[in-house]
Structure 1
Amino acid sequence: MGATNLPGDIISKCKAGPSHLINHLPSCIPVSDIVWGLAVGSFALGALVGALSCTRYSNIYGRKTVLLYSNALSIASALLFMFSVNIAMLVIARVLIGIAAGMANVTFTIYIVEITTTKARSSLGSMTQMAVMFGIMLAQLLSLSMLTPPLWRLLLAMPGVISIFSIVLLFYCAESPKWLIMNGQPVEALNALQQLRKDSDCSAEFKHMVNTAREEMGPDACTVSIVDVLRGNTPDNLQHQLLVSSMMMVFQQASGISGVAFYSTALFNTVTGDSNSVFSNSPTTSQVLTGVLSTVGAAMNLVGMLLSVHFPRRTLLLFSHFAMGLCSILISVGSIKGVNPLAITMVFVYFSVFSVGCGPIPWVSPSEMTPTYAVAAIGAISGSINFICIFAIGLVFSPLLDALDGYTFLLFAATNFTAVLFFFFFLPETKDLYVADVVRVHSVGIHNVVSARFKMTVASPEKDAIRTGSA
């Protein structure tokens, strides 16, 4: 996502100098802004394909296997980035890395929810967004010293290097015990759970997992598809879960965060007065600010993980969107009035509050309110919506910035405040609750969760022990 931010002009506009060959490879690939925008956005289209296709395969072959395949695609895209000689090869490479990201994001989110305890779900579930922010930070920081040809090729190929390590580590990971139970492998499931829990006695947890899976899954559980969920052909009424999961992804991207991730340098240029038209061997103020911004975002994800242990999901999401709305207004005020320190500071605060709520929670909550037989399908639908929105925002943000200048973030202020209203009335709390309990209470069609009859009490450790023991 972040690797094309800083070197974009170097690659597409040959800002480092006229195009020439380096080891038989072109130093740049000159294209128009529209074509480059499509190349950048093709990542999201690939991610859409990956998110939609992984549902069936993760149900058939397992979460771990799909994660291995996604890393293999990442390595293939890295090779294409390294040896691209035209824009078509770059686009194909972006599509491949997008497919890998779509498969990994959806599958990893499901995997984490299925292997963790109820208490650990909060912090470990945030790791999807943490990984995204860390990747953006790594890309931006490396970009500061890898802008010149042919180093930008190494920068774009970096995910392939990370994937090699990921493949090695995955061989030491256990398969999801819940998936193994779903596929009639109880002995393997118990072994996997014991591997995850090490020296702990997990017999009670295993019994509860088996009984929960039996309650949640019907005879056709493994064949429930995206189309089945969209049509409502499921044992439970999942309209509310589908609506909330989808809107969390819509509002996450409508908040404007992808525009900042893709075009933060251009955004800072409008404030600092740096020019995109001149290439310098030393980073500009805007480029340095972009690197610092990504570092702050990654650090704030750690803060968000800590906060998720102590604060409800709903509270963090409402706070995050509300704070982003206020920051968006102040960014516009600072830009319009020429108060550069205000605008720059608010961009940093905006990025920070995104990381504590709006960033991680949309990846965690859907799996916490959805029954096992539909979690992959709803995860794929919501993930696909996320990537469609990333593509759309990435495509229109730069023209919006050119057309509206300082007024651009007023649009995002409006979407963030709309998100606050929507989630206040429709987002159920899922922190420290059993998935089966959430499903039973909220599988009644679209409803107002503020109503007293939808209030749920978090079980105490003693009740948890009684429940798992009786199961």
Structure 2
Amino acid sequence: MTVSRSLREVSTYLLMVVGFAALGPLQFGFHLAELNAPHDVITCATKNSAPSSMTDAFKALVTGKSSISHIAHVYYLPDCIQMNEAEFALVSAMYTLGGLLGALSFGPLSSAKGRVFAMRLTSAFFLIGSFIEAVSNAIPVLAFGRVLTGIGAGAATVIVPIYISEVAPPTERGLFGAMTQISTNVGILLSQTLGFFLSYSSTWRWILGAGVIVAGAHAGGLMTVPESPSWLAANDNVFLARKNLQRLRGKKYDISEEASRWGGEPISPEVESLLNSSPAATATTPTSARGRRTSTSSRGSSNGSTKSPRTMGFFQVIRDPLYRPAVIACVGVMCAQQLCGINSIVVYSVSLLDNLLPMSSALLTILVSAVNLFTTIACSPLPDKLGRKTCLLLSISGQGSSALILALSIIFHVKWLSALAVLSFVAFFAVGLGPVPFILASELVGQEAVGATQSWCLASNYIATFLVVQFFPIINDELNFRFGSAGWVYFIFAGLAALSALFVMVKVPETKGKKDADEVWGRERRLD
């Protein structure tokens, strides 16, 4: 049996492992959107919004308004936290600051200490931060909780794509890599749906408190997740790497081809039986049973001898000419993901889509999130079928065209075309710019540099996100005032999409079907 196999043959255990890992990006999306719907209630702008009949029905499932208010008063938690728009913007921005800190620090940590250790630490930040947010009674407390959840989010978006790429079957990495974007969209949709029902009185605390429940499930699930076989092999534990890989692929699956690049001796039936009967033995594999790695995607001498891999630091990886092209490619794609304008829709859809369709802005936000989720799921096989670079170019050109149509339709007041352009804009994002940037780092560099490279990627992503979210409304208002109508800002996004497409064509190599980073870049072997 070869490594190539259909998705139907993927083991249930692997699906469970990926599912638990993907709860990290889900919480990233959840906390990104959690303050959107209850904005007015949290800031005391609207203290007692009258809930609809649908909200009344949902309220009964979460113990009712009276008991929630009673709990809040017993523990001296106010129904809202008085703050102006500038203060609310600061609280929101704290999440981005935390995300930047998490992205910068957890990549190297995951390379040094392991993917699973880093993910478990991430779940602790989510758990503590969510709890602090839910019981906050003042601006500094809420902001501090947002920083902690932001650190967890930044860390999760660095580590989880690497981990999923390393445990996924080589022929299905593009499909499994889409799980990061899919779970992020699930988190956004979940928080916005809760916000639609629970944005009144002190009930908004249930929205933030739901993060505690998700974080608890995340922490518990990670207790059953094995360390990445690729990371173990890169750190000279080929023995345990093979064991974990066999467990992930299934007992009857032949891992010899996939594990051949690691070197080391196959696990004998006797040793396999011993390991299966003794959980402690897994964590204390004898040194004599450990294989030495011989992958060409790690630095070794020209005669084939190997050394223990050195973990590249954040600044080391950009100074090294061997890795710099990969870092530039990954950072450029991550910036393109944001500069093509997706968050102008996700974050500002309420005001942007107001009066475009005959429904409330809250429902419009949910609709946009649902379209983003379902198109991401539908398009998830495309990177493996068409190639990463092809999907990126299709996505960027589609978003650029949609931005151009959106600008013209808003200027000429063609409401139905504006609505279609928005949905097309979101749908094309799911084709490539949504999932592909998260899997590129693990395919463009070796184990020793992937953590630092992913940190560069997510740091640039958070900075680009901040620039779009912070300056989109300012530039939009200025252009609207100067030209006397809305929509002109999307000409800028169309231009940025054209520049992004040019960058991808020139700087980003195709990774589909390539075994490792050396094959991607056409190198025979990396030399010290």
TM-score (norm 1): 0.86
Alpha-carbon separation, structure 2, partners of 1:16 and 1:435: 56
Match of 1:224 in 2: 312
2:257 pairs with 1:204: yes
* Max Rg structure: 2
Following superposition of structure 1 onto structure 2, how do residues 243-392 of structure 1 map, counting pairs within 5 Å? 243-269=328-354, 271=356, 285-392=360-467
Alpha-carbon separation, structure 1, partners of 2:248 and 2:503: 37
* Structure 1: runs of 5+ lacking an equivalent: 275-283, 445-471
Q: In 2, are the aligned partners of 1:5 and 1:264 still within 8 Å (CA)? A: no
Q: Please give the root-mean-square deviation of Cα atoms over the aligned residues, in Å.
A: 2.2
Per-residue Cα deviation, 1:48-81 (whole angstroms, up to 9, x for no partner): 1111111232123210111111111101111111
2:505 pairs with 1:424: yes
Moved over 4 A (4+): none
Q: In 1, are the aligned partners of 2:108 and 2:314 still within 8 Å (CA)? A: no
SS in 2 for 1:221: coil
> Residue 55 of structure 1: which of 107, 113, 124 is its match?
107
Match of 2:522 in 1: 441
Q: In 1, are the aligned partners of 2:372 and 2:427 still within 8 Å (CA)? A: yes
Q: In 2, are the aligned partners of 1:327 and 1:349 still within 8 Å (CA)? A: yes
Per-residue Cα deviation, 1:341-360 (whole angstroms, up to 9, x for no partner): 21122111111110111111
Distance 1:348 1:292, change over 3 A: same
Per-residue Cα deviation, 1:440-460 (whole angstroms, up to 9, x for no partner): 42799xxxxxxxxxxxxxxxx
Match of 1:141 in 2: 193
Per-residue Cα deviation, 1:393-447 (whole angstroms, up to 9, x for no partner): 2222233343333222221111111111111122110012111443542799xxx
Alpha-carbon separation, structure 1, partners of 2:356 and 2:257: 58
Alpha-carbon separation, structure 1, partners of 2:308 and 2:318: 16
Per-residue Cα deviation, 1:217-236 (whole angstroms, up to 9, x for no partner): 3547333101111222xxx6
In the comparison of the two structures, how many residue pairs are matched? 430
Per-residue Cα deviation, 1:286-339 (whole angstroms, up to 9, x for no partner): 111111110111101111212223211111111111111111112122222222
Deviation at 1:183, TM superposition (A): 2.3
SS in 1 for 2:169: coil
Match of 1:461 in 2: none
Distance 1:393 1:226, change over 3 A: same
Out of 182-191 and 72-81, give the one that drifted further.
Answer: 182-191
Return the letter of the residue paired with 2:295: A
Following superposition of structure 1 onto structure 2, how do residues 16-27 of structure 1 map, counting pairs within 5 Å? 16-17=47-48, 22-23=72-73, 24-27=76-79
Alpha-carbon separation, structure 1, partners of 2:406 and 2:214: 35
Return the letter of the residue paired with 2:462: F
Return the letter of the residue paired with 2:254: D
Alpha-carbon separation, structure 2, partners of 1:387 and 1:330: 27
Alpha-carbon separation, structure 1, partners of 2:156 and 2:314: 18
> Residue 86 of structure 2: which of 22, 30, 34 is its match?
34
* Structure 2: runs of 5+ lacking an equivalent: 1-31, 50-68, 264-292, 301-306, 481-485
Match of 1:239 in 2: 324
SS in 2 for 1:269: coil
> Residue 15 of structure 1: which of 46, 49, 52 is its match?
46
Return the letter of the residue paired with 1:383: L
Return the letter of the residue paired with 1:310: K
Q: In 1, are the aligned partners of 2:109 and 2:451 still within 8 Å (CA)? A: no
2:491 pairs with 1:410: yes
